[in-house]
Amino acid sequence: RVQARAQDLSEAPPQAGMASLGKPKADENSYVIHPEYKHKFRPAQVKEIIRASLNQKLTGQAYNVEQTTVLTKAVADDIRDRLKELQLPRYKFVVQVIIGEQKGQGVRMANRCFWDGDTDAQASESFHNETLWCIATAYGVYLY
């Protein structure tokens, strides 16, 4: 019995996570807890990306209650897609976009995050014209 069991184990296929040469797959834990310097989330660079997206999508737009939901999603998707083009390995992005009607009112917003200050960051930018205002925030969270 013991010999048969040992033989069954020896004939088992290699572990699913290990390639034939013993190299781990890309999605396995590598125990890297900090990104390389050139692959860090840079708030200034992300702020420029957000600004460009807001200007492209919202310039000339008028506030319309029925279309605001679609416009908000389009702006958020555009920012997210532009962030993905940065190809920052192991970063997950969260994009929040809020659009409101410009009526001279004041708006206060706050956010609170529990994260690693060495690897995670956020960038925010605002846009306004005669009929609407928009605040977009992008969060970059490093997955380790």
- What residue has token string 């807001």? 54
Q: Rounding to the nearest 10 degrees, give the CA dihedral for residues 8, 10, 13, 19.
A: 170
Exposed e or buried b per residue across 4-42, where buried means at least 16 C-beta atoms within 10 angstroms of its C-beta: eeeeeeeeeeeeeeeeeeeeeeeeeeeeeeebeeeebbe
Would you state the pLDDT for residue 77? 98
DSSP-derived secondary structure letter, 37 = G
What pLDDT digit, counting tens, does each position of 79-110 carry? Answer: 999 999 999 999 999 999 999 999 988 888 88
Would strands 91-101 and 132-142 be described as parallel, antiparallel, or unpaired?
A: antiparallel
Q: How much is the pTM?
A: 0.77
